[in-house]
A and B are shown apart, each in its own frame.
Chain A
């Protein structure tokens, strides 16, 4: 019979993997003690697609341990079975994959475009993607400057006096803290908020594209303009969104 083990050949029934996208995350090495069946055929590991399993060398006393390297990008609890060629399960290993460490931390203006889009509410995301397409087709070089940003960062900006709000649609999140922004700031990567953006018609084009997607455009506001800003909620919904965010 076989059993999963650590590198000291001690039997284990579960193992915890770091989230592979975390900075410095390493794969975890485990062993399968007694990896051959009664006929001398090697057992194989039956795993969910959420855990990457890479076969390693043979080690241990009497060379009875097959090494495997495990890693995962999928938070949760999964199982790996050691199975004979005939389909019998000889041992099961429970694999816990940790939650990402501060996956959504840092300066969100420096995130990749993909990550910024991923931080938007699911209904807003395709609309913003469409706006970017429309603007590109018109010869602009649009980019999302901000999708989501944390309330913590927002408060830092508020305390520095560079924003007038402590909570905005950029800060919306799911109750578990996952980003769920209802707003995005879009600029042309050549001009930012410089005079050339206005002179070349970028803000007007952004406003038209936002309207075509049924979004609110901050350039329409008369009391306090925010020309790069689009949002999928009405301003009157801010208190409800804050409650929905669990804040």
Chain B
């Protein structure tokens, strides 16, 4: 036990202020909600993450959003195990044919009002995988998307900023 305590004191607080990011990385794209709806969740947004076909690179960076350096919970951003508890879906990957039904069902299971954030180039437009017999391309081809975050994969700071932008697009 004492080693754990020593390690805690040695480490201190490692959380950093959210770095300035390139604003153009996260684009508000209309989607299903009126622009101000996200404000209902301000300081408390619960997310259900859905991998709809990604290579798992975006998942690594969404994990990093939860690490003590980015510490998303200080902004009230919290990941939940069920879409029933969620205000926002964070969707990665080109949507595969084999995930289409599961993604639609997850969307339907999420209570209204809800936001959808597409994470990564593949979620935006299919990325390197494109559209094919197996891939339906971007998330917007399957469910309405409110914010798209580009990058392959986007950095944790880009992802966190994109989530906060979806909650408050800044147009009053």
Do these two chains really belong together in a complex? Answer: no
Chain A residues with CB under 8 Å of chain B are none
Chain B residues with CB under 8 Å of chain A are none
